[in-house]
Amino acid sequence: MPRDRRTAKSIRVLLAEDQGMMRGALALLLGMEPDIQVVAQVGAGDAIVDAALTHRPDVALLDIELPGMSGLDAAAELRDQAPDCRVLILTTFGRPGYLRRAMEAGAAGFLVKDGPVEELAASIRRVLTGETVIDPALAAAALSAGPNPLTARECDVLRASADGATVADVADRLHLSESTVRNYLSAAIGKTGTRNRTEAVRAARQQGWL
């Protein structure tokens, strides 16, 4: 881009995306906007906060499913450690539960990746002015889906058992008794309307509760 097209005060953006090709394409496209500058790119969730503290972005554009730490968990940490940085979640997975969790983590916006880059750039500008930007279809789906019925501990147990771990393994990981783990699993299965913990994990993930 010719240097004279860049505005005097560009919006500084941190980009977190684990797929290198997608990350590079987004950085290139956003860099073509005269008022946006991508100042940092990371491919793992646990690198987000350090990058934000180093580069001081105005807006952090975060994917959800990242190695090391999810974008949702990183958003919550940014709220505490870099409160001046606005967070915009950009994801392939437009799940209602993800939207609710993003808002609870302090995100200022939530968009799915299939939108045009012009819309993304406009959303970056809008969240910087204090607006909250949410994909309309996802907002409607979240309202119709209702709140997450699972408790935090039930979610913990489902996550810990997602890799096929035994009840004993889960109990050891979470420092719980095996009977307590079974109770949490039973409750989660009932609340998700499924037949076993494998189906419960799948159903909870589809809703964005995990």
**Residues facing 88 on adjacent strands:** 61, 109
- Of 5-9, 50-54, 88-92, least confident by mean pLDDT is 5-9
Instruction: Provide the pLDDT confidence category of residue 140 given band limits of 50, 70 and 90.
Output: low
What pLDDT score does 121 carry?
93
Classify 175 as helix, strand or coil. coil
List, in sequence order, the alpha helices (H) in 32-177.
48-55, 71-81, 96-104, 117-128, 136-145, 152-161, 167-174
What pLDDT score does 1 carry?
40
pTM above 0.75, yes or no: no
Instruction: Provide the pLDDT confidence category of residue 208 given band limits of 50, 70 and 90.
Output: confident
- Distance of alpha carbon 153 from alpha carbon 181, whole angstroms: 9
- Of 38-52, 126-140, 158-172, least confident by mean pLDDT is 126-140
